[in-house]
Amino acid sequence: MEKETPINTEESLVLIQKMIKTVQSDIEDDSFYFLLWGWSVFAACMVQFILMAMESPNNAIGWVILMPLAGIVTWVYAKKQDKEKRVKTYIDELMGYVLIAFLASLFITLFFQAKLQLNTYPIVMLIYGVWLFVSGGALKFKPLIYGGVINWIFAIGSFFLMFKMQLVALAGAVLLGYIIPGHMLKMRHNKQVSQNNQLS
């Protein structure tokens, strides 16, 4: 039986570096969630704003279709990620719990919007802010942290706005808090994947 040759210190460091890069790349691909929810909410806001301007009685149809759809896509994608992930880290588990808490809070708020009325979208922005802030801290990605703060600021302002303007504020909040940071996170992920491939 052939004896295994132990790796030297330099090889060990290279191996550890590759493992760290792999874990970072896996985590940062969570940009998918921010882009999915950012564009879904932005589209729902725009659809409702336009339908309200047209005086349509079914102006909330965008939310009825897009929010459950985004929830289903999130669940399917998360399951797929779990199967493909080679290394499961503490941050992965934390992000999973944060995502579940976000979705539960969001759907409870939207379900009771008839009772919350004008307070619905400001509370939604508060929930968005928590997800962004915690996720940004876990991923060490400042644009998401800033996005969380922006959502909180927009939420406070929205408590003093009429419903139609709350839609504009919410669209602005997800654009600055989700969509732009989400694309930045995706770019950073792609850059790290490219660097990993060069190391291989």
Which of 3-12, 15-24, 69-78, 159-168 has the weakest average pLDDT? 15-24
**Are 23 and 87 in contact, with CB atoms under 8 Å apart?**
yes
Q: Convert the pLDDT of each residue in 32-41 to its tens digit.
A: 888 999 999 9
- What confidence score (pLDDT) does residue 51 get? 95
Helix, coil or strand: residue 27: helix
Distance, in Å, from the CA atom of 185 to the CA atom of 36, rounded to the nearest integer, reads 13
Angle at which helices 142-158 and 163-174 pack, to 10 degrees? 170
- Other residues' Cβ atoms within 10 Å of the Cβ of residue 71: 16
Q: Convert the pLDDT of each residue in 153-195 to its tens digit.
A: 999 999 999 999 999 999 999 999 999 999 998 888 777 767 6
Residue whose C-alpha is closest to residue 23's, from 88, 105, 118 = 88
The whole-model pTM stands at 0.77
Which of 11-25, 109-123, 126-140, 157-171 has the weakest average pLDDT? 11-25
> Contacts from 131-134 at CB under 8 Å and sequence distance 24+?
131/98, 131/99, 131/101, 131/102, 132/34, 132/177, 132/178, 132/181, 134/98
The encoded tokens of residue 108 equal 């409870």
Distance in angstroms between the alpha carbons of the first and the last residue of the chain: 29
> Contacts from 140-145 at CB under 8 Å and sequence distance 24+?
141/28, 141/181, 141/185, 141/188, 143/180, 143/181, 143/184, 143/185, 144/34, 144/177, 144/181, 144/185
